[in-house]
Chain A
């Protein structure tokens, strides 16, 4: 049985600085100050920690390129704009251990010598934003922000609220939003580490990612590598919902079989799951023995994404599910580029026809064709992945895996 790390304070959340310190908090920050920024980044790099928001980019490499950038003005951004359908692990993470998240932010900001740290919280997460704000104030009042900024200055933390757009979870659109512009993604390159927020070198990390950092710094890189698989070291939070008895957030080491997670959540006799959120893929019982790791998912053309898992029983019409996903993407497309703006609308119209059972017969071919155009030609990850689930459903249907 895996012993909780990220969720270790789940039963008795440390919601004030006193109880956080009493339960061993801020040891990571203390150690980071002792060993210095370069060594901190080295440990994080060596641990093999990769981003938990979905893209899986190595955190240490990100920090190192910002740390060594020539521009003295640089930013740390915490992406708490959790908006992927079926994903709620960052909210729970903040709810049960806000100081652990903030400690990760402080260590990250110190490691890259950030001029300022921004925390961008999903608009609907009002309570979490308030909680982080209050905890940040406590840390500031107790002097823990002193000396973390450039040339020994105190770190400034600013909390920003999202306005309800999924696209603002995309890092470059998130920057535009903080800057006060319309939330539209920019092309990469240049990558955020080179020209991010306000076109300055920026490290942007997901909530779950930074929550790993204090323990990595305290316990060393080999600790994280002692968990999980060789190519996916560490632990992952999963948001489980749908036709299960015990929906919620589960913490497991990488490599745990999918079936084990389903059993923990109380899933019986499923038709399929949607793994990785709206931008993920449908996975059918024949693949339920797959280990939950980046490499195993990739082998099956699936993705762990943000760790969202929505379960569907045999009563569910998966084309109706796809239609709801299509509606989501059409609603959340920012409208900047043609393949996504028009493509997500056309995709939704065709999915509606299929789910309602009055298709013209050409929808399946057209959906596959359109999906390729959106994947290849869209500016950002939204359009590039808006057809992923649909195309996995087309494959499954061709193999006769659909119940309804």
Chain B
């Protein structure tokens, strides 16, 4: 094929396709690469720096999620610089965030050998916002990955209710002009919740169940169905508690050709009618 070329990954030749990022190639080559902010359906925010690689000839490390592969690139993922930088990113996050609902982050930190106690200092305390019926925002858990901003904005929903406000360590996600969600442009599609990697954004039912100590992943079956509201045909995954027969959460598969994982307020949150009339 004319649009493929070779690059070097840790000294081994690998095939890259025109338009692919370095991360795409790494994943196909099954080179384990930590990621936090990048998401298959969102513009790379290149903000977390977990996926940095050493590109020979480039002064600083580059974010593999964003940088397009080019013919002849010599990429190193196993160098001391790369390992040190990746570990550093996780150690910095562990020094500021509550990661209790971010198992993927914690697992990646551990596999990199990140020391949670390396850095001490001020925690990220942006507060807990419980201002609507459908989801809660616990910004102490926010790592500012920009996924929610992109999902709310031009990548998915085009609602632009969420943005980044403030700067430096004080930067944070804000709705509207920093007020409550119902006062912002939010349409409560919950697509921000769907892409949040740390549980900073959480559906109300999940939040309530966790608060009551009743959130038990191992009891939930995933039931595939099609949304009954309109004719688009969105694929739904109903997470059903097999003991109580309650729906605890609704999602959509990220690889579904219609939804790409994204839903509207009705599909994601309008499910209580299913349980109406049952005890």
Contact = CB atoms under 8 A, between A and B. Distances in A.
Do A and B form a real pair?
yes
Given A343-B92, A373-B84, A336 B47 contact: yes
Nearest to A166: B167
Q: How large is the interface on B (under 10, 10 to 19, 20 to 34, 35 or more residues)?
A: 35 or more
Contacts of A373: 84-85, 88-89, 92
Nearest to A381: B60
B171 interface: yes
Contact of A342 (B50, B86, B96, B166): B96
Interface in A335-362: 335-339, 341-346, 349
A244 interface: no
Contact of A335 (B46, B81, B144): B144
B169 A339 contact: no
Contacts of B49: 337-339, 377-379
Given A370-B119, A377-B61, A341 B84 contact: no
Contacts of B168: 330-335, 341, 344-345
Nearest to B68: A189
Contacts of B89: 338-339, 373, 377
Contacts of A343: 88, 92
A372 B171 contact: no
Interface in B153-173: 163-164, 166-171
Contacts of A165: 167
Contact of A338 (B92, B118, B121, B166): B92
A349 B93 CA distance: 16
B48 interface: yes
A339 B88 contact: yes
Contact of B169 (A330, A337, A369, A376): A330
B63 interface: yes
B138 to A, nearest CB: 18
Contacts of B121: 345-346, 349
A376 B84 contact: yes
Contact of A187 (B46, B50, B122, B164): B46
A376 B61 contact: yes
Contacts of B46: 187, 337, 379
B122 A377 contact: no
Contact of A344 (B47, B50, B61, B169): B169
A377 B67 contact: no
Interface string B65-89: 0110000000000000100111011
A97 B267 CA distance: 64
B97 to A, nearest CB: 9
Interface string A8-30: 00000000000000000000000
Contacts of B85: 339, 372-373, 376-377
B84 A372 contact: yes
A403 interface: no
Nearest to B165: A182
Nearest to A190: B68
Contacts of B119: 346, 366, 370
A330 B164 CA distance: 17
A375 B85 CA distance: 9
B95 interface: yes
A386 B66 CA distance: 23
B151 interface: no
A115 interface: no
A376 B76 CA distance: 14
A187 B92 contact: no
A384 interface: yes
B136 interface: no
Contacts of A377: 49, 52, 60-61, 85-86, 88-89
A369 B80 CA distance: 12
B122 A345 contact: yes
A342 B81 contact: no
A345 B47 CA distance: 17
A384 B144 CA distance: 19
Interface string A150-192: 0000000000000001010000000000000010000100000
B47 A349 contact: no
Nearest to B119: A346
22 contacts: A182-B164, A187-B46, A187-B67, A335-B164, A335-B166, A338-B48, A338-B89, A338-B93, A338-B144, A339-B49, A342-B92, A343-B92, A344-B168, A344-B169, A345-B122, A345-B168, A349-B121, A349-B122, A372-B85, A373-B84, A376-B60, A376-B61
Interface of B: 46-50, 52, 60-63, 66-67, 81, 84-86, 88-89, 92-93, 95-96, 118-122, 143-144, 163-164, 166-171
**Nearest 8 interchain pairs by C-beta:** A335-B171, A373-B88, A333-B168, A342-B92, A377-B85, A345-B169, A349-B121, A377-B49
